[in-house]
Chain A
Amino acid sequence: DGGITQSPKYLFRKEGQNVTLSCEQNLNHDAMYWYRQDPGQGLRLIYYSQIVNDFQKGDIAEGYSVSREKKESFPLTVTSAQKNPTAFYLCASSILGYNQPQHFGDGTRLSIL
Chain B
Amino acid sequence: QKEVEQNSGPLSVPEGAIASLNCTYSDRGSQSFFWYRQYSGKSPELIMSIYSNGDKEDGRFTAQLNKASQYVSLLIRDSQPSDSATYLCAVNLISGGYNKLIFGAGTRLAVHP
* Distance from B54 Cβ to chain A, minimum over Cβ atoms (Å): 16
Q: How large is the interface on A (under 10, 10 to 19, 20 to 34, 35 or more residues)?
A: 20 to 34
B60 within 8 A of A: no
Instruction: Report the bound CA distance from A41 to B6 in whole Å.
Output: 11
B12 within 8 A of A: no
Using Cβ atoms and an 8 Å threshold, which residues of chain B touch A56? 96, 98
Q: A101-B34, A104-B43 are in contact. Are A42 and B100 (CB under 8 A)?
A: no
Using Cβ atoms and an 8 Å threshold, which residues of chain B touch A2? none
B17 within 8 A of A: no
* Distance from A35 Cβ to chain B, minimum over Cβ atoms (Å): 8
Instruction: Report the bound CA distance from A113 to B85 in whole Å.
Output: 30
Do the beta carbons of B103 and A43 come within 8 Å of each other?
Answer: yes
Using Cβ atoms and an 8 Å threshold, which residues of chain B touch A97? 99
Q: A56-B98, A98-B31, A98-B94 are in contact. Are A42 and B105 (CB under 8 A)?
A: yes
Do the beta carbons of B88 and A42 come within 8 Å of each other?
Answer: yes
- Residue pairs across A and B with Cβ atoms less than 8 A apart, 8 shown, are A40-B8, A42-B106, A43-B44, A45-B100, A98-B31, A98-B92, A99-B31, A101-B49
B interface with A by C-beta (< 8 Å):
4, 8, 31-32, 34, 42-46, 49, 51, 88, 90, 92, 94, 96, 98-101, 103-106
Give 18 new A-B contacts, CB below 8 A, not counting A42-B88, A99-B31.
A31-B99, A33-B101, A35-B103, A40-B8, A42-B4, A42-B104, A43-B88, A45-B101, A48-B98, A96-B99, A98-B32, A98-B94, A101-B32, A101-B34, A104-B43, A104-B44, A105-B43, A107-B43
